[in-house]
Structure 1
């Protein structure tokens, strides 16, 4: 659900007033223009905070913080000359979390305090203010928020213009430059993800951004775009199932089109600030369904060598699921750890930070981890050119390299980190397994390696079932693929409920039968009924899929009724 509208205070800092009280050519005070721009997209203007001393300013701010605790509070420097988009990055983002916007010199231009952190910040300001020397109020408040650990995300202007005007002439000149900027174009570029791989950044995004601009103009919702991308992906799978080279080419064209459209929904959500937990889950679920459907369709389309192709498809599925749960486990550990925990990552973390500063090395590292865009492009190019068998072989080899690279790096970080999570963070250290929150406290699940348990569980089920069925009922591999794919989707669903909404309750159909029992059931079916095992697995996949769909729809509609 969307948080309450952000309250905005424009700070006219009497210690360093700049040009906040300057009249622009239109006759308006710069401070008033700042308030209008800060609330252009969202937010309600609470007024102006002005005082002739630090003590008086802090007293006013503490009173404002305690005036309400149901909405975030944003503070914006009254001398800041910037466009509405940059100010909206602080004020209008719908997550309601903290934000700090700094310029290149580290000066705070604006900040937002989450609703739940207002009282804590007020108390901390009362304790700290007595010893403050004269300084900019926003810098001082940001330092306190950072010390509390609730400052939230740090932002920079990036390509947007932002100036703390010090004189009337500087304010007027900066405002003219801001007015001349194509803000829509900059905003659209900023809506692209900053952590994409090389191919996604330089091949896919230049194609998706014009479509996003059109989608914005047409008033489309991100969920509608996600549905189109999913449909195109399923059509590509249907074409791949044709098996011939012509159908493989058609499938690849559809798959690449789906990839481009799939970038649009995220760009559209970020551009229009309509991001939501439910929208994020829809995007992830659509990606996994498309990818699994394509793997299965490629294996099904091969004539005369189906058994080998199904083995490769199942191995590709199992490796991908295992890799993702390595990611989920490590992410949960990072989120739950204290600042000291995540900083104490030794030489691995330092090396990673240094190499990321070089674009060529940064993109090479991203290519090694084989993100979804790179995997999709590689599959679409290889399938019609080298055939299905070698496409799977290359994907598996790339997946093994990616798994080794990421797991080794995370192991190094985890082993170098010796600080345990704080008491308040322990509840967040969990990944859903079979619908149950698995605690990742190091001292409860095997020290610093406990975060690997979810991935180990997934690997045992995926690869254990593959080996059992290939041994006892190899003809049932197609049905097993459907079963394991649906199980994986169900695991993703309950895990993302925790990642995106903080849910820890055991929900979903997987709570009825845990993975050891499911693996035992696969063994029994394959051993006792090998001739019909494929049908049993297929029917089970359909029934489980329907149950997962109903459970997921009920959860996301009832508990997260936001518009994706």
Structure 2
């Protein structure tokens, strides 16, 4: 299949090769090969899809034609459609515990005229009911929540399989699929925290920490992929070793499981919810996600420092967009025209992150020290983005910024130590995280970052850090809780309004994103 942008090139190559062969008398079995050779020479390697069970051949004589017809007739089209509906690279739990039957649910939905968007919405509703069940704080509610969470995940797998089975991809579907997974998981965290509170156990800090850790993990994935997907000379000894390990069957499944993809993660959460308490569930989740984050980040750092890749201007701009700098960082960065060489950008981002989080976590509530840390962080943010992010480890800048902003909100809300502060902080981080996820999927769709007016209106990441620190220094703990709530509502309304406008507009990219490995 030729993409629209490549059809002119294909037409020119076809005209040239036909003319070179003497008009239409070119041997039929040589023309496709000559076309591929010409396109390879002019435009780079042509993508050659894996045919799998399908048959594709250009017969040169009657006998070959008959053999090709027999081979085509022997293909079970329905079996191929069902097999193709399942992603080729999924996690262990999804591959062996969900996909063997969810593909048939997808076919059942297709035969009854259901759309992927309807199944996606059903998955969201099921997850919200699961969160509400967990919020009851009863053992029966926790058991029901675990069962419903697994049911939601089955539907989550089914919607993508239905889209591939029936070839139904849409702009709205891309937006729903990209955002609902996060909404479901984080709503479930809130449900667990509410259920624990009914039993007298306050785990809002753990729920917020789990959301922060999971979001930072995703930003590491997004930043690394954006920095390297179009880089030249994109090889390293670490990547070669990874490829060799993939050739050993059992290591593939072990490596997919230890990164705790969504299937394994949700199954673990469901079982722990039903069998233990919310506190134990969050402890195990945090330990597992921390190990997975350490494993994946360390591997990517090793790949980056051993890879001699030249990153493009597009990749550098994508990293800046993911970093989410606001007006303060942009204006200050003009004072640091030369920026920081080598590993300077991620190093100063890490130091700024440590400064603001430590200054927010150590002193008592109302101290001016968090403001000092926030000012240092604003300067560090400007330094980090003062030059194009093309360094080997510059993809770490956005994850460091996410950890700084979310960690500061968590630390200050915990120090406030009044009822409602941590739930308000949870809402604020959720609203900002949605903005950051929305930015990711716009970039993946080739539409770039959200509009500049939105970034200015919500302050940029360094502006929000400074604002929250100043509010904590000036307001009482109760007033600070109200301020966090108002800030969360304002940011959520602005971001959601612009996001909905963009994704339902005619200009939004019609990209079906399947999200992380399930």
Query: TM > 0.5 between the two?
Result: yes
Task: Describe the shift of the 1:406–1:130 C-alpha distance in structure 2 as closer, same or farther (beyond 3 A).
Answer: farther
Number of corresponding residues: 449
Shift of 1:203: 0.6
Residue pairs, 1:263-274, within 5 angstroms: 263-274=157-168
Q: Is 2:504 aligned against 1:557?
A: yes
Q: Is 2:49 aligned against 1:155?
A: yes
Task: Describe the shift of the 1:413–1:561 C-alpha distance in structure 2 as closer, same or farther (beyond 3 A).
Answer: closer
**Aligned residue number for residue 435 of structure 2:** 490
**Aligned residue number for residue 424 of structure 2:** 479
Are the counterparts in 1 of residues 122 and 155 from structure 2 also a CA contact under 8 Å? yes
Are the counterparts in 1 of residues 150 and 267 from structure 2 also a CA contact under 8 Å? yes
Residue pairs, 1:89-168, within 5 angstroms: 90=1, 112=2, 114-119=3-8, 136-148=30-42, 151=45, 153-168=47-62
* Structure 1: tracts of 5 or more residues without a match: 1-89, 91-111
Are the counterparts in 2 of residues 442 and 450 from structure 1 also a CA contact under 8 Å? no
Cα deviation 1:494-534 (Å, max 9, x = unaligned) = 22111123324535744321122212332334441312433
Greater alpha carbon shift after TM alignment, 446-455 vs 532-541: 532-541
Shift of 1:348: 0.9
Task: Describe the shift of the 1:525–1:490 C-alpha distance in structure 2 as closer, same or farther (beyond 3 A).
Answer: same
Task: Describe the shift of the 1:549–1:429 C-alpha distance in structure 2 as closer, same or farther (beyond 3 A).
Answer: closer
Are the counterparts in 2 of residues 348 and 412 from structure 1 also a CA contact under 8 Å? yes
Are the counterparts in 2 of residues 226 and 262 from structure 1 also a CA contact under 8 Å? yes
Q: 1:396 pairs with 263, 266, 286, which one?
A: 286
What TM-score results when the alignment is normalised by the length of structure 2? 0.78
Cα deviation 1:323-376 (Å, max 9, x = unaligned) = 1111111111123313x2x2x2x2111111111123311111111111111111
Shift of 1:429: 5.9
Cα deviation 1:212-237 (Å, max 9, x = unaligned) = 00111112221111111111111111
Q: 2:117 pairs with 212, 223, 241, which one?
A: 223
Q: 1:432 pairs with 305, 315, 322, which one?
A: 322
CA distance in 1: counterparts of 2:5 and 2:326, whole angstroms: 27
What TM-score results when the alignment is normalised by the length of structure 1? 0.72
* Structure 2: tracts of 5 or more residues without a match: 22-26, 331-344, 346-383, 513-518
CA distance in 2: counterparts of 1:422 and 1:510, whole angstroms: 24
Cα deviation 1:87-119 (Å, max 9, x = unaligned) = xxx4xxxxxxxxxxxxxxxxxxxxx3x332345
Q: Is 2:122 aligned against 1:233?
A: no
Task: Name the structure, 1 or 2, with higher relative contact order (CA <8 Å, separation 6+).
Answer: 2
Q: 2:463 pairs with 517, 522, 534, which one?
A: 517
Q: Is 2:260 aligned against 1:375?
A: no
Residue pairs, 1:316-327, within 5 angstroms: 316-327=210-221
Cα deviation 1:385-436 (Å, max 9, x = unaligned) = 1221121111111111111111112112222222313568766665434387
Shift of 1:166: 5.0
Q: Is 2:331 aligned against 1:331?
A: no
Higher helix share: 2
**Aligned residue number for residue 489 of structure 2:** 542
CA distance in 2: counterparts of 1:129 and 1:353, whole angstroms: 40
CA distance in 1: counterparts of 2:430 and 2:149, whole angstroms: 19
Shift of 1:168: 2.5
Cα deviation 1:435-460 (Å, max 9, x = unaligned) = 87999999723721111111111111
CA distance in 2: counterparts of 1:428 and 1:150, whole angstroms: 24
SS in 2 for 1:381: helix
**Aligned residue number for residue 419 of structure 1:** 309
